[in-house]
Amino acid sequence: MKVLENENLKKYSFLNIGGTAKYVCEIESEQDIEEFLNFSNKEKIPSVILGSGSNTFFNDGFLKKAFGLIKIKGMFKSYDGPDFVNIEIGAGEDWDDLVDWTIGNNFSGLECLSLIPGTVGASPVQNIGAYGQEVKNVITHVRAYDTEYDEFVEIPNDQCIFEYRNSIFKKNPNRFIISSVSMQLKKVSDKLPIPQYKDLQLYFLEKKQKQASLLEIRKAVIHIRKEKLPEPKEIPNCGSFFKNPIIKADLAQKLLLEFPHMPQFKMGDEIKIFAGWLIEQAGLKNFEYKNLATYEKSALVVINKGESSASDVLEFEKIINENIERVFGLTLEREPNFIK
């Protein structure tokens, strides 16, 4: 296990915000996970697990912690049937590399999750989703080290407690260290109906297509995401900064009376409304505070335009929520993880 000392945490955050870490330890195997935990215990400092930093920003100053950077690789088929395939993927693999591989092999289930930044190990934590797909729909089980019982466990889908952008892993931070994720994907050879999501429907309507291949759907998602979201390497950002609120149907009806053009998406007995739209309607699109701003093409994205601090981000978040509460009576929940 490689140990780096006094590391600048900014390079581990897509938002480019953070102080200095006491240690960053590179974890390349399950054995390294146990070694990392022993190391942090020996040093008598807290341990924190990191992925690619796509959904993370850190506190300012010196963080006396040991950060475990998950770099476990590997991608293989555990079962290859006539209609579906089971695959196991190392937690340190790049998420979009996985999606690209599945498309190349005509495996369906991840195509709408194209170009989402981050690692495979982070995907079940957030239960990542986009354009009508969620990773919970394909995960069979997650292998992780359970720090409460000091052993590796395999957690089946129904015990992961998946919810909208939530899971047992997010609800119990630092308990589970994910080493691999297993999925079941469908084998397809023909074109598929266009996903029932407005942006994709409009994209293929313009092309006069009623069906599309996996690769065509992937290309469409990539095109739409690039139109809306800035490239983190060019403009630091963590993607969607706020979760889309899920509200009761009666509250949605009350809001529609006042805001009849409010977009919504039915989710069972509840309604998802869109945080980006709420921010725009509150007059905060292109809103700037210090070196932070809501992105001009998507108000849901917070960008770092210069030297910003964690305290700046928290102040920025507070200002936005004060306005959302004033206009809509709602409070937005932050999506990125803030590590103090």
Residue 165's pLDDT is what?
Answer: 87
- Residue 67 near residue 52, CB atoms below 8 Å: no
* CATH 3.30.230.10 describes domain 75-187: no
CA distances from 194 to 90, 98, 131, 209 (A): 31, 22, 11, 8
Tokens of 261: 């053009």
Measured torsion, CA atoms of residues 34, 37, 38, 43, in degrees rounded to the nearest 10: 160
Active site residue 5: no
Q: How many Cβ atoms sit within 10 Å of the Cβ of residue 4?
A: 13
Q: What is the pLDDT along the chain (340 residues), one digit of tens a residue?
A: 999 999 999 999 999 999 999 999 999 999 999 999 999 999 999 999 999 999 999 999 999 999 999 999 999 999 999 999 999 999 999 999 999 999 999 999 999 999 999 999 999 999 999 998 999 999 999 999 999 999 999 999 999 999 988 999 999 988 999 999 999 999 998 899 988 888 899 999 888 898 999 999 999 999 999 988 899 989 999 989 999 999 999 999 999 999 999 999 888 889 999 999 999 999 999 999 999 999 999 999 999 998 899 999 999 999 999 999 999 999 999 999 999 9
CA distance readout (Å), 48 to 33, 52, 184, 298: 11, 13, 29, 31
pTM for the whole structure: 0.88
Contact 247, 270 (CB under 8 A): yes
Residue 293 parent element (H or E) = strand 292-295
pLDDT at 306: 87
CB 167 within 8 A of CB 92: no
For residue 14, the model assigns a pLDDT of 95
CA distance 79 to 136: 19
What pLDDT shows up at residue 151?
97
Residue owning tokens 């004060």? 322
2-70 and 75-187 in the same fold: no
Q: Where do the structural domains in the chain lie, given as residue ranges? A: 2-70, 75-187, 192-228, 237-339
Selected from 3.90.1300.10, 3.40.50.10860, 3.90.78.10, 1.10.3720.10, the CATH number assigned to the domain covering 237-339 reads: 3.90.78.10
**26, 163, 280, 335: the active-site residue:** 335
- Whether 218 is catalytic is no
Catalytic residue chosen out of the listed positions 40, 52, 134, 165: 165
- Residue 34 and residue 51: Cα distance in Å, rounded? 17
In sequence order, what are the residues at sequence separation of 6 or more whose Cβ sits closer than 8 angstroms to the Cβ of residue 254? Answer: none
Q: Which of 108, 167, 240, 309 is catalytic?
A: 240
Q: Give CA separation, 193 vs 106, 190, 197, 249, 282, in Å.
A: 15, 10, 11, 29, 36
Q: For this structure, is 123 an active site residue?
A: no
CA distances to 3, 97, 289, 311 from 303, in Å: 31, 25, 11, 15
CATH 2.60.120.10 fits 2-70, yes or no: no
For the chain, the distance separating the N- and C-terminal CA atoms, rounded to the nearest angstrom, is 24
